[in-house]
Amino acid sequence: MRARILHHDRCFDGACSAAIFTDFFRKVVAADADVDYAGLFHQANQVFPDELFPGDENAIVDFKFAPHPKLTWWFDHHQSAFLCEADEAMFRSDRSGHKFYDPGYRSCTQFIADIGRERFGYDPTPLNTLIHCADIIDSASYDSAEQAVMMPEAAMKLTLVFEASRENLTQQVIPLLLSESMESIMRRPDIAPVFEELFRKHLDSIEIIRQRAACRDGVIFFDLADAELAGYNKFIPYYLFPQSVYTVSIVDAGFRTKISVGSNPWSPVEPTKNLASLCERYGGGGHPRVGAISYGPGEIERARASAAEIVEELTEAAQGLPEQGARAQG
């Protein structure tokens, strides 16, 4: 029997979900299944063409529901899991007992482990390390900014490889997650040099930000509009300025000029400003603790003017916040 596993690509939890589903499927459904993998990316106009579902069984893990007759298994924990109401109605009326959704889970890997144990008698304990790491990484529950930026553990290194490396490498690594430790995977001759190069670029970006960023009254600001950098790890500013509360930055990503607004997860005081609401006033959006505004390509002066206003507003907001020592311990 042929099984196709579709998973969220460029994502540590997506890869771990594919790995644990493989183990579950072989132990519970078909021991001799011939399994292959394909990654899925979020797109503005999401489609699920027939060629994604060539198996006798076809699964999607850690990604949106597909209203396709050949989809036989589905696990997701994302807030926005359905493309439209009709898809959600189709899921709600499904009686296969093989499609599962719970946005309360921090990782889809843990969700598959729990459903497998409770409904199918599957024992996920040999994969406990993988499950634990997926939970931490998918919810960004790092102990410190240094841990988030310096990536001391194999799981974090593997995350950088999954997020930034070339096509199909993730699909090669997924089966290895069942037979080798992540430390051993990171030592492989086809993986170690990929990580080294990606990590070198990451360290370069820390230096570029170190040179350009300043922190005043709890607010970090830096302007990368004329730097050769279209993105950066969002925890770098807090690694450089542990006492900061908020960050505002400008990046020229080519197709757009982006203002990023964030708050320090390890701040010594609790950031109280709702950054989604703030960004909405400039046509952007996001979450309460992190938001962004996109202007058109080349609108750098406009972005600089808005960023200056935002820095001023956040500087006022950061004044007089009470210390919350407990937050620093996470």
Contact footprint for Mn ion (CB under 5 A): 13, 62, 108, 138
CA distance 139 to 268: 20
CA 312 to each of CA 142, 268, 294, 316: distance values in angstroms, whole numbers, following the listed order: 29, 20, 19, 6
Nearer to Mn ion, 13 or 57 (CB): 13
Q: Closest separation between CB of residue 38 and Mn ion, Å? A: 17
CB of 62 to Mn ion, least distance (A): 4
CA gap 12, 19 in Å, rounded: 11
CA dist., res. 142 & res. 135, Å (int)? 11
Q: Considering beta carbons, is residue 13 or 23 the nearer one to Mn ion?
A: 13
DSSP 3-state of 94: coil
Please say which residue, 108 or 310, places its beta carbon nearer to Mn ion.
108
Query: Are the C-beta atoms of 296 and 257 separated by less than 8 Å?
Result: yes
Tokens 């439209």: give the residue.
84
User: For Mn ion, which is the closer residue by CB, 134 or 314?
Assistant: 134
In angstroms, what is the minimal distance from the CB of 41 to Mn ion? Answer: 14
Please say whether the beta carbons of 35 and 6 come within 8 A.
no
Minimum CB distance to Mn ion smaller for 24 or for 295: 24
CB of 11 to Mn ion, least distance (A): 6
The CB-of-107 to Mn ion minimum distance in angstroms stands at: 6
Question: Mapping DSSP to helix (H, G, I), strand (E, B) and coil, where does residue 54 land?
Answer: coil
Shortest distance in whole angstroms from residue 105 CB to Mn ion: 8
Taking CB atoms, the residue at the shortest distance from Mn ion is 13
Task: Identify which of residues 81 and 321 has a Cβ nearer to Mn ion in the complex.
Answer: 81
Q: How far is the CB of 287 from Mn ion (least distance, A)?
A: 16
CA terminus-to-terminus distance, the chain: 47
Question: In the numeric block, which tokens belong to residue 301?
Answer: 């002066």
Give the side-chain half-sphere CA count within 13 A for 220: 28
Nearest to 250 by CA among 269, 233, 268, 227: 227
Instruction: Report in angstroms the alpha-carbon separations of 211 from 19, 50, 214, 236.
Output: 41, 50, 9, 12
**Closer of 23 and 138 to Mn ion (Cβ):** 138
Question: In degrees rounded to 5, what are phi and psi of residue 227?
Answer: -100, 155
Using the minimum distance from each CB to Mn ion, give the nearer residue, 103 or 330: 103
DSSP helix, strand, coil percent of the chain (3-state; round to 5): 45, 20, 40
| Closer residue to Mn ion in complex, CB, 11/149 | 11
CA distance 240 to 206: 8
CB of 188 to Mn ion, least distance (A): 25
Q: What minimum distance in Å lies between the beta carbon of 104 and Mn ion?
A: 13
- The two most distant CA atoms of the chain are separated, in Å, by 64
